Structure 1
Amino acid sequence: MASGEAVAAPAAFAVQPITWGRCADPDLRKAKARCGTLVVPLDHADPTGPTISLAVSRVKHTRGPFRGAVFTNPGGPGSDGTWLAPYGSYVPRKVGLTYDWYGVDPRGTGASRPLLSCDSSYFGWNRPDYVPTSATIMKYWRHTTEKYAKDCGRSKAKRLLAHVRTTDSAADFDLLRQAIGLDKITFFGFSYGTYLAQVYATLFPDHVQALVMDGVIDPDRVFYRSNLDQDPAFQKSFNAFLAWVGKYPSTYHLGKGRKAVERTYERLRKRLKRHPAGGKVGPDELDDALLNAGYYNGYYPYVASALAALANDGNPQGIKQLYRGSNPVGKNADNSFAMYLATQCTDAVWPTDWKTWAADSRRLDRKAPFLTWANNWFNAPCRTWPVAGTPRVDVTGAGLDDVPILLLSETHDPATPYAGALAARRIFPSARLVAGVGGYSHAVSLSGVACTDNAIAAVLETGALPARASGNRADKECPPLAAPKPPKKAARVAPLLHRTWWSR
């Protein structure tokens, strides 16, 4: 572990058993989950100091033999996670039902307390274009992102800010392990959750039974460089969406072929810059809505229908719903965004010179214009964050030679590019990588691709992994998650999105 990082919770903290009761979430109640609260130190280096509470959910095993506990994290960082406790039911051959599955709202998120919120109206309408084509636009976004960082430093939960690094959450998970009385646990992480799993395994290697990581982060590139890596990856994923739309010109009337659809999108974006649809939907809101398709091809029909309604009929309702589903406003609505920043900004050292940010974004924007400047502004509060970043954890894989580790990634994953999975495979000597070849979706295991899902069942059932291949490549190749076909009657208004493990 690098110097300056938080340490594991000392034995002096007396962890209390969890009292399990009725869950507030109807989906968890339907899954027969039970919910409770885990009390942990605010500062793991001060176990006798102030405490905070974490919301925890559990779905107990219903079949034998009992194989242990699976701890889950959906990523973000900043996403609530109690909703993941029922995930064991998706594992093939009912293997998941031989485990107790735990979901956690990490510190500062969801139903955990205190809750971090900095500006609940941050995601408004008709904002200046993300692309700073003028000094005025550049000034607006620099001021806006700097103000958000300042607002977080003045929030009611500001005491959290120095204690929400990944090392803090890893120590929380180990207290959960102690609270349920198990010596070893399996960690199943998605997206950023794969980094949390890697840090947990680095700090507590003796307590790891197995690791399953889907959408794998390269621990050596957290987080400024890993966010830059996303820009060209999302451009490819967005192009794949445009190509899909271009296969169905009679359904969406946006053009035949990728290039034609791309021209329609570019014309629409210019039009919205001059005249926002309904006075609200400008080019930023359009791009934020379309980003859903970049993450997951299952949303292609909904996003395409919303795009077609706006481009062809001037109806912005679908785009508005997609945008607002991912960018809510209202009381504490910015919680996920605030905690995303609070974790990433302090997990590693970020550049503070604006010239570095601007130069990198200008360079990437030339080949990846879809996301580059949006991604820049999304992360820009880290440049002036009120709590300094610390050296990242040195993830080495030490002490894990005999631990079964399964890595999962589609080869064109935009949010956690495939190179991260290859890097983790090199770091962890017992790791095996299962690749969804040619896929553009992010962290979509247990979505029905038998080749991938059976590999998860095997490692959970017996610890079995694919044979290790030579070289820097996948150990097992699988089909990707197949893109859907348009419904016979295309939806004109996109549905609200379910909670996901997606963050830039």
Structure 2
Amino acid sequence: MAAVVAATVGVGATAAGAAPVPRDQRAAASTASSVDAVDVVDAAVDFEPEPIVWGRCADADLTEMGARCAFVKVPLDYGKPRGKTIQLAVSRVRHTAKKSAYQGVVLLNPGGPGASGLGLSTFGAIFEEKVSAAYDWIGFDPRGVGSSRPALSCDGDYFSYDRPPYVPGSRAVEKAWLARARGYAEDCAEAGGELLDHVTTADSARDLEVIRKALGRKKINFIGLSWGSYLGQVYSTMYPHRMRRAVLNGVVNPEKVWYRSNLDQDLAFDRNLGVFFGWVAAHHGTYRLGKTAKAVRKRYYQQVKALDRKAAGGQIGGDEWTDIFLSAGYGTSSWSDLARLFSGWVNNGHWKPLKARFDSTYSQDDGSDNDYANYLATVCTDAPWPRDWAIWRRDNTVMHSRAPFMTWSNAWYNAPCRYWEGRAGTRVDVTGRLSSSMLLINETRDAATPYPGALEVRSRFPKSVLIEVTGGLAHSVDLLNDNDCVDGVVDRYLLTGKLPKRVKGRTSDKQCAALDLPD
């Protein structure tokens, strides 16, 4: 089985706390944005969906993999279960095992929030054959996402070329970014309307419960990556007797949803970029970018400043350069490609490969911001954000002095939350009422969902077991790089329900070695 897939998300999409935040930041964040958690253990959703009628998938790749597709109607507003409905796109690849070996349905979410999960019904193919055969694999697009109806999109051109510099060296730059953030929030208010009041993680958890009903199952199994791990926590809190087995990979810290988590994320990404610089320096003979991590770092930030002054090809400025290298913080699989781009630009002036890399992640076509719009729709309303810009300025100025790589890009990525029209809820009090076991997986130096978050969730779910990939810096354990140690535990758990023994203390229960750095 391949290791559970990594969710590649935009800056600040999911996070927790890898390193300590300065005392003044903790105070600012707690007074400005932290809210008391609310206990949202629900009675059964007062909505009875129609049984799913499976048909042909519009996606030819899904059809080729044997998937069938459908829509599930759910209430727009669960406070008005007999009011307006919306449609969630779902897909299924059926089990092939005999009835005696059938284990039920497993729903999958790739994270984001805002990432499409419809194609994950084919995910079973990466597991051991007995595991793959034993389950019905259910992919779905959360409300507002992908093929679900309506699908939220606000401004496909928002990630255009050569934007104002991320680091606000003047009030004029700061005002320009604030105007952009306000404009995007206003565009989303116009495009999303009443949907924006109903895109919290708790809403998505209720959607899972409706999908369970529509599938006709008493319980579900669940695999959640990145933000999907938080969705799994919230569902397990709200419906503790409906979860059978859960694998949460790249574990979100439920204490830090979401303003504080993004500040912590800045430190963790900066640390991982430093490891990347050291790796590039160790291969100086190939890339010719510096013989020490310090030298490579210096050269990297020289490019940011130079491209802020004059964009390469009139398109790739300092912002785009920063966005391109963000993936270095998510794991090692992109390091060779990024180092070649870095070297090609510095040593040969090749900028078109930089543009191609940027375009592959930040498309500017109509509707291409669907993932970003839905990311904001959820994180902006899961809990309140500060409205006072002075708090943002102070927190991010202090953080930038310690972690310059993505502090301000992360701040601007989330800045529309300051103006968001959707009604903010209250952070869910994630609790371990779950009667069944739960498997948690986290790499020690995961920057997007830092390791302390996994320890926090382990402490809240007494029947959970945590696998730590020691020294690893990948997010959600990279699908393309098999880790046999992790794979074996996941396969066994899904097949038999058995987990490694839970140990005492605030620690991991089993340790797996990280994969080697790329050669």
Q: TM-score, normalised by structure 1?
A: 0.92
Asked if 1:99 corresponds to 2:163, the answer is no
Bigger Cα displacement from structure 2, 18-27 vs 469-478: 18-27
**Equivalent residue for 2:113?**
77
The structural deviation recorded for 1:467 is: 1.0
Residues 365-397 of structure 1: CA deviation (Å, up to 9, x unaligned): 111100100000001111111123111111111
Runs of 4+ in 1 over 6 A off after TM superposition: none
Residue in structure 2 matching 1:19, options 53, 64, 79: 53
Q: Superposed, which structure 2 residues align to 1:374-453 within 5 Å?
A: 374-398=409-433, 400=434, 402-444=435-477, 446=479, 447-453=481-487
**Equivalent residue for 1:312?**
347
Alpha-carbon spacing, 1:2–1:46, altered in 2? closer, same or farther (3 Å): farther
**Equivalent residue for 2:295?**
260
SS at match of 2:138: strand
CA distance in 2 between partners of 1:324 and 1:82 (Å): 23
Residue in structure 1 matching 2:314, options 279, 295, 305: 279
Q: Superposed, which structure 2 residues align to 1:60-459 within 5 Å?
A: 60-64=94-98, 65-92=101-128, 94-155=130-191, 157-398=192-433, 400=434, 402-444=435-477, 446=479, 447-459=481-493
SS at match of 1:365: helix
The structural deviation recorded for 1:308 is: 1.5
Contact 1:297 1:440 in 2 (8 A): yes
Q: Percentage identity across aligned positions?
A: 45
Residue in structure 2 matching 1:475, options 509, 512, 516: 509
Alpha-carbon spacing, 1:470–1:253, altered in 2? closer, same or farther (3 Å): same
Residues 422-449 of structure 1: CA deviation (Å, up to 9, x unaligned): 1001000001110111111100265410
- 2:351 is matched by which residue type in structure 1? P
Q: Cα RMSD (Å) of the superposition?
A: 1.7
CA distance in 1 between partners of 2:253 and 2:109 (Å): 17
**Equivalent residue for 1:44?**
78
Contact 2:41 2:239 in 1 (8 A): no
- 1:431 is matched by which residue type in structure 2? S
Bigger Cα displacement from structure 2, 203-212 vs 25-34: 25-34
SS at match of 2:270: helix
Residues 10-37 of structure 1: CA deviation (Å, up to 9, x unaligned): 33x2311112122222332232111111
Bigger Cα displacement from structure 2, 171-180 vs 245-254: 245-254
**Equivalent residue for 1:493?**
none
Contact 1:214 1:445 in 2 (8 A): no
Asked if 1:28 corresponds to 2:62, the answer is yes
CA distance in 2 between partners of 1:86 and 1:203 (Å): 28
Contact 1:7 1:167 in 2 (8 A): no
Contact 2:154 2:188 in 1 (8 A): yes
The structural deviation recorded for 1:315 is: 1.2
Contact 2:229 2:252 in 1 (8 A): yes
CA distance in 2 between partners of 1:23 and 1:244 (Å): 44
Contact 1:9 1:171 in 2 (8 A): no
Q: TM-score, normalised by structure 2?
A: 0.90
- 2:350 is matched by which residue type in structure 1? N
The structural deviation recorded for 1:251 is: 1.7
SS at match of 1:298: coil
The structural deviation recorded for 1:168 is: 1.0
SS at match of 1:69: strand
- 1:108 is matched by which residue type in structure 2? G
CA distance in 2 between partners of 1:178 and 1:10 (Å): 10
Contact 1:365 1:372 in 2 (8 A): yes
Contact 1:2 1:394 in 2 (8 A): yes
SS at match of 2:252: coil
CA distance in 1 between partners of 2:507 and 2:454 (Å): 9
- 2:139 is matched by which residue type in structure 1? G
**Equivalent residue for 2:45?**
10
Contact 2:67 2:122 in 1 (8 A): yes
- 1:424 is matched by which residue type in structure 2? V
The structural deviation recorded for 1:2 is: 5.4
CA distance in 1 between partners of 2:41 and 2:185 (Å): 22
- 1:48 is matched by which residue type in structure 2? R
CA distance in 2 between partners of 1:89 and 1:7 (Å): 34
CA distance in 2 between partners of 1:175 and 1:387 (Å): 23
- 2:151 is matched by which residue type in structure 1? L
The structural deviation recorded for 1:8 is: 6.3
Contact 1:242 1:262 in 2 (8 A): yes
SS at match of 1:183: coil
**Equivalent residue for 1:491?**
none
Bigger Cα displacement from structure 2, 170-179 vs 253-262: 253-262
CA distance in 1 between partners of 2:355 and 2:66 (Å): 35
CA distance in 2 between partners of 1:421 and 1:4 (Å): 21
CA distance in 1 between partners of 2:142 and 2:372 (Å): 13
Which one has more relative contact order, counting CA pairs under 8 Å at least 6 apart? 2
Contact 2:444 2:473 in 1 (8 A): yes
The structural deviation recorded for 1:159 is: 2.1
Bigger Cα displacement from structure 2, 382-391 vs 100-109: 382-391
The structural deviation recorded for 1:262 is: 1.1
SS at match of 1:147: helix
The structural deviation recorded for 1:255 is: 1.7
- 1:145 is matched by which residue type in structure 2? A
Gaps of 5+ in 1: 486-504
- 2:453 is matched by which residue type in structure 1? G
Residues 325-349 of structure 1: CA deviation (Å, up to 9, x unaligned): 2221111111111100011111111
Bigger Cα displacement from structure 2, 183-192 vs 309-318: 309-318
The structural deviation recorded for 1:93 is: 5.3
Contact 1:445 1:452 in 2 (8 A): no
CA distance in 2 between partners of 1:326 and 1:320 (Å): 10
Residues 215-254 of structure 1: CA deviation (Å, up to 9, x unaligned): 0001111011111110000011111111221121122221
Alpha-carbon spacing, 1:32–1:111, altered in 2? closer, same or farther (3 Å): same
The structural deviation recorded for 1:321 is: 2.0
